Amino acid sequence: MVLGYGIELQLITSGGTVMDAHVSPIAYRQVLGFVAGLWLRRRGYFLLGLTLTLAATGFDLLLPWASAQLIESVADSADQAIVWQSWALLLVAFAGFAISRNLAHRLWIPLAARNMQAVLLQGFERVLAAPADWHANQATGDTVRRLRRAMEGYDAVTDAATIHLGPALVVLLGLILMIGWREPLAGVLALLVAIAFVASNLLVGMHWIRPASLQANATDSQLSGIVADVLAASVTIKGFTAERREQGYMAQVAHAWGASSAMAWRRFVDLGLVQNLLLLLLLLTGLSGVALFTWTRGDTGAGDVAFAVTSFLLMAGYLRGFGEHLRVAQKGLEDAADALMLTRLPAEESIAQVVEDRPWCGEVVFEGVSFTYPSTALPVLDGLDLRVRPGETLAIAGASGSGKSTLSRLLQRFYSPDTGRILLDGRDIATLPLTALRQHVAVVTQEPMLLNRSIGENIRYSRPDASQEEVVAAAKAACAHDFIMKLPHGYDTQVGAYGARLSGGQRQRLALARALLVDAPILVLDEATSALDPQTEAQVLANLATLRPQQTRIVIAHRPAAILGADRVVRMSAGKVSESPSI
């Protein structure tokens, strides 16, 4: 559904399927299996909590019977000892219910917290392992919202199933048996009402509420994605004074979210109203009516009437709670499906084979490499052949869009060639474990990404075990040490989201220091010094040549100053390379 301003929301089919989802729809039974698997990871906590919950349910079932016993003993003017025994039994039922339920909750809380943590970490792991193409087509805010909703969904399903729905079914079954034992006709009526109530919840929920809930979830995810996108581009928005325009975008998306969410909520409320009327008309009139009718005939006493009324109140409360918590569980299942969907994300392939423990020389060879991005139709590389000798500094020039940056993405195996192969020291990189490959290829891009951490942590990111002296040495080689020391907290200064507190040139120098710290045999500089002034750029390049004379360097640049010191220059055009004697 296109809202205007280029904003498109996911469409939901009549069956409740997200039309542009990355994976096939997930059935409730699959989500329940996933959630149950989490419960059984901590079997002891789960079984003890379940036992205490069932104990609380048993005490709850005692209440109607204990109430009837007390009223009958009082009405019959029985021995005072019997009256006090009946009263004590009622107190025991109340106290037993309260204590066992409290203990059960104390066990469910740590179980839920640990499993919610597991859901988050498992989803986070799968997101990090997803290939570059998936990340390129996924809104960050959408992914963050799905991770949060996955945790909340697990919590809702667990809470509903273990604390509310399970005990409710046990109590309802017990009450129906007790009612039927005292008055068969009332027992049959209670059974029919309970079946109708539960069945209506399941059927209406699946075919009427679920589509609205799916639509609300889809707009919720996209709303989060748009918010994150707008906040990340806040400087651009302010630069073009586009705040009102963005508010207009957000108003339309928020309206769509509000409409879809309100529809789901209204359907929840409408179903609750119908079910409350069903309870009032059938259960109350049926149970109390049968009890009063038999009492007027002299077949039952006051205790039986009290039992019928108490049973109605207890049964009505559990049925009403069953309906409400079943709807919460349905919403939770939709949210928990996000956790299961994340576990199905495609992951980068890594062939786990032993690589010979020998020095890396840094030779890179592209043999007949052709490549087309999944989201485009035109090839970026077309039968490209290129050899970079060990220790050589190769400069690659060419027009924007000619495929220069694609070479570094293929070299790190963010993507795989459609045809041809890439060799690193004579070994096809497709056969190398990703960890080994990426540890030996360092890449610095024009727009380096920094984490919202300290400067020292960002530089040390390539080698977490590096000493402070090594971090400082890398920063000096990248001409970053001087500006770092002028900051209020030096290497402990926080860089802000995406490095927003630093200038473009400062971010590039930190990225260079990060790459130098790892001392990889191959270094790719993809417009890595474009934001530096000529003097600083020349100094950085000179430092690279001095500190790493044996390192193979691939320099992708437009500016002549960045490639003048190269041993060889090639030019890219139409997906191929040609030698260029001059710039």
Q: pLDDT tens digit string along 259-296?
A: 877 777 777 777 767 766 766 666 666 666 666 666 66
Q: What is the pLDDT of residue 2?
A: 36
What is the H or E stretch that residue 30 is in?
helix 28-41
Start-end of CATH 3.40.50.300 domains in the chain: 364-579
pLDDT of residue 3: 37
Please state, in angstroms and rounded to a whole number, the distance separating the CA atoms of residues 15 and 262: 19
Residues 530-536: contacts with CB within 8 Å, 24+ apart? 530/446, 530/557, 530/558, 530/559, 530/562, 531/446, 531/503, 531/504, 531/505, 531/507, 532/479, 532/505, 532/508, 533/505, 534/561, 536/479, 536/505, 536/509
Structural fold of domain 2-6+24-343: ABC transporter transmembrane region fold (1.20.1560)
Segments in the chain below pLDDT 70: 1-27, 75-78, 136, 139, 205-207, 209-210, 214, 232-233, 235-236, 239-240, 272, 275-276, 278-306, 308-309, 348-358, 580-583
Identify whether the C-beta of residue 379 lies closer than 8 Å to the C-beta of residue 575. Answer: yes
Tell whether domain 364-579 is in CATH 1.10.10.60: no
Q: Where in the chain is the domain with CATH 1.20.1560.10?
A: 2-6+24-343
Q: Could you tell me which residues come within 8 angstroms of residue 258 by beta carbon, excluding any fewer than 6 positions away? A: none
